[in-house]
Structure 1
Amino acid sequence: MRVFKFGGASVSNYEKVQNLGNIIKQFPDEQLLIVISAMGKTTNALEKVAEAFFAGKKEEALQLFRAVKLQHLDEAKYLLVTHFNPLMEQFNNFFTEVEWLLHDQPVRDYDYYYDQIVCLGELLSTSIVSAYLNEIGISNQWIDVRDVFRTDDNFRDAAIDFNFTQQQVNAIIKPLFTNSNIVVTQGFIGCTDENESTTLGREGSDYTAAVFAYMLDAESVAIWKDVKGVMNADPKLFADAQFISELNYDEVIEMAYYGAQVIHPKTIKPLQNKNIPLYVKCFADASLPGTVIHNNPVKNLPPIIVIKQNQVLLQLHTKDFSFIGEQPMSDLYEMMAKLHIKPNLIQTHAVNLQLCIDDRPDKVEKLALAASNEFDVQVEKGLTLLSIRHYNNETIERLTAGKKIELKQQSPETVQMLMI
């Protein structure tokens, strides 16, 4: 049993879906659970639908949604003949689910509507891929992961109920393999006990694949990407990014913690618990070995560079010039917990504290307002957070040339700098 995960770039058009089929053909006698993300930029497009709906722009939301529908219908027409009509029946059910919501008025928080709308991307992409695989003679079973993954109602970053989900995996997923070697399902999404769709956080499809591997005792997980493996920096930003052939779990967790997008922050732990290796494979050339991530030590790594744009610096100063001690820090962490804010960098001094977080305008404003009861608050936006693992002076100097450093934190292994 292996778990494969294909990202949005791997199913962004009909040619990519055909290539996915060619990869699956190379594993004719294997049991595969295949987790698939939304096609291409579909999640971004559905986010715009959710934003328009929540802003009360119903007609704009419906028009944006129509474009998403047409895109997927066009892809299906290129790929399918005998399985086209059954797919349309499935599509119509999905479309109705969202359009019914779009004709209503928002009465709940934005995050709730975000999840009800954005989850459609994965449902559409997996339906197309499953139908195409059946079309070319690769028998498979499609399953709605919302029937399997039970979560809480923390919309946009839901936590999985592992006990209930394991029961569902045993009852629903495992029996499917008695009829077929291949099961196709969605990443990124789940469902509450009240049958409301949830999402697991951006890039949560990796996490979905890891959870399935853990619960199915898979021999490995392969994440298929548009690079030849894990790189020491984003190749879209750094033309000289270096390929890394192997990493250990701890290093990848560190990379994820600092914001590297190659592996979702929650992905590694389920694999580490059962010592399941993770392969990052090249979608364009399946013959390449890719990167293997395991539990063994790995030495002599190059500098690993992570850049996070759109950062906000909150400068908090005690109003009475008292020291920042346990109680103010406890209060601040309680505020962040209530708003589901994860700090990227914190630095404390005698009477002031500096806090770097992602620029989520609704959450930034609420945190600044809540903190103003205890602190004088200043907010600075438009910053970039640079993190370098296994740094050297040459790399630091090259990446900070001409930049103004607002905040710096350094340990023997990692340096972080918040820059303008």
Structure 2
Amino acid sequence: MNKERAPHISLHPHFTFYNLQYQRMKVFKFGGASLSSVERIRNVADILSLYTKEHVIVIMSAMGKTTNALEKVVEAFYSGNKEEALRLFQLIKQSHLTTAKYLLVTSYNATLEDLNAFFTEVEWLLHDKAVQSFDYYYDQVVCCGELLSSRIVSAYLNEKGITNRWFDVRDIIRTDNNFREANIDWPATKENLIRSNIQNNPGIYITQGFIGSTDQNESTTLGREGSDYTAAVFANILDADDLTIWKDVEGVMSADPKLFPSASLINQLSFSEVIEMAFYGAQVIHPKTIKPLQNKKIPLHVKSFLDPSLPGTVISDKSSKNLPPVIVIKANQVLIHLQSKDFSFVGERLMSTLYQLFAELNIKPNLIQTAAINLQVCFDDRQDKIEHLAQMASEIFDVQLEKNLTLLTIRHFTEDLLANMLHEKDVVLMQKNKETVQALYR
């Protein structure tokens, strides 16, 4: 049975913005930090005002920490505390209504109608009892954040004379029902996007990242880097000239500037290098975002929304040369010590069983070290999943856990830098190859 949901604005197949000659299509993605205040939303408008004569698809995240706040709503609801869930959601409602009041004048009432439809969509669910999985309810509630932010910003842009068309991305992005980590149905999504006729009607379009919909109209989310991925999907299907992700840093940095003030900007990176960096935990671009771009050689720009004049970083199929050391630090790591119960070799059969457990729990090891009868595996300490893994693995291994560890990864390392980073650290594990070193320490 198809799920009912609030009505949403549809795209008219013959909608045209201007009688102007457009030269290219661009895809932009603005994250939560760029929408976290009235001032920053105004800044987004200033950026988009430079592109009013171009064909631009704008993907937006939820405002600021809205996703985190909505997660608290789901947790309260699923634990049976309906009153607390509704109270927390009321705070989110008021926050967005306040933002809308500060930004909007002539279109406030019309926008309020749309916002109320989204509020109702969530409140209707919160008044019910939980009979499905936590992940199902997570997606039905958390998707609201992107819908609210994009609708408010779209209305504000139109008031500022930046003509745009808003649409519900759930009408375009079709997924399976693997809630919280939904997989995109590419053929159906491409068909929906082509049918929308966006590619033949130039102008600025505003929509949402991170979310999609099953063929039963159930909302889904694409994982925590889902907004970037959404932007890459649009760029791929529409053969965009490029994709720009707007961040609160000047581009891709050699390390987290909050931890390393001397971190330097990397002007140019290859797709493959970014995938390597992301694999080791660098907060750059998720590999799943890179693949749709790499397949069609669509360059990705990472630029600062705080200062759009800065050059930022260009990620493309050109090889990366003379890169500085790239430092990634992941705290809150857990090391699982596994030893075969009968002292048999940890061979193909045991490793295959272990990887099946990883797949079932949807967790990825950050580091693995094997020996004859034992192995050690390092993960992010997601308590629920780690405990479940330890319990399942204990059927075939003797299991021990060690927590509160830190994982250091350095791409393009030097021995001097490595020695300096590990000075007075109690190293538990280390792996090293020509390009990359990883050290897990207490």
Q: Normalised by the size of structure 1, how large is the TM-score?
A: 0.97
Is 1:191 aligned to 2:220, yes or no?
A: no
> 1:69 is matched with which residue?
93
**How many equivalent pairs are there?**
418
> 1:372 is matched with which residue?
394
CA distance in 2, matches of 1:82, 1:146: 27
> 1:97 is matched with which residue?
121
Task: Give the aligned residue type for 2:225.
Answer: E
Report how far residue 399 of structure 1 moved. 2.1
> 1:274 is matched with which residue?
296
> 1:246 is matched with which residue?
268
Q: Select which of 384, 404, 408 maps to 2:406.
A: 384
Q: Select which of 350, 361, 366 maps to 2:383.
A: 361
- Structure 1 residue runs of 4 or more that deviate by more than 3 Å after TM superposition: none
Larger deviation, residues 247-256 vs 302-311: 302-311
Q: What is the percent sequence identity of the aligned residues?
A: 62
> 1:399 is matched with which residue?
421
Q: Select which of 168, 178, 190 maps to 1:154.
A: 178
CA distance in 2, matches of 1:183, 1:378: 52
Alignment of 1:1-150 (within 5 A): 1-150=25-174
> 1:220 is matched with which residue?
242
SS of 2:198 mapped into structure 1: helix
SS of 1:330 mapped into structure 2: helix
> 2:339 is matched with which residue?
317
Q: Select which of 324, 341, 360 maps to 1:302.
A: 324
Q: Normalised by the size of structure 2, how large is the TM-score?
A: 0.92
Structure 1 unaligned segments of length 5 or more: list them: none
CA distance in 1, matches of 2:381, 2:75: 17
Q: Deviations over 1:26-71 (max 9, x none)?
A: 1121000000111111111111111111122221111111111111
Is 1:259 aligned to 2:281, yes or no?
A: yes
CA distance in 1, matches of 2:64, 2:417: 33
Task: Give the aligned residue type for 2:361.
Answer: L
Q: Aligned-pair RMSD on alpha carbons?
A: 1.2
CA distance in 1, matches of 2:58, 2:261: 31
Task: Give the aligned residue type for 1:398.
Answer: N
Task: Give the aligned residue type for 1:151.
Answer: T
CA distance in 1, matches of 2:424, 2:76: 39
Is 1:170 aligned to 2:170, yes or no?
A: no
Q: Deviations over 1:291-336 (max 9, x none)?
A: 1011111211111011222222111110001100000000011111
Structure 2 unaligned segments of length 5 or more: list them: 1-24
Q: Answer whether contact 2:331 2:407 (CA < 8 A) is retained.
A: yes
> 1:409 is matched with which residue?
431
Report how far residue 189 of structure 1 moved. 0.9
Report how far residue 403 of structure 1 moved. 2.1
Task: Give the aligned residue type for 2:45.
Answer: G
Q: Answer whether contact 2:274 2:284 (CA < 8 A) is retained.
A: no
CA distance in 1, matches of 2:287, 2:404: 24
Q: Answer whether contact 2:52 2:204 (CA < 8 A) is retained.
A: no
SS of 1:159 mapped into structure 2: coil
Task: Give the aligned residue type for 1:257.
Answer: F
Larger deviation, residues 109-118 vs 293-302: 109-118
> 2:314 is matched with which residue?
292
CA distance in 1, matches of 2:438, 2:140: 36
Task: Give the aligned residue type for 1:124.
Answer: L
> 2:4 is matched with which residue?
none
Q: Answer whether contact 2:180 2:220 (CA < 8 A) is retained.
A: yes
CA distance in 2, matches of 1:394, 1:199: 43
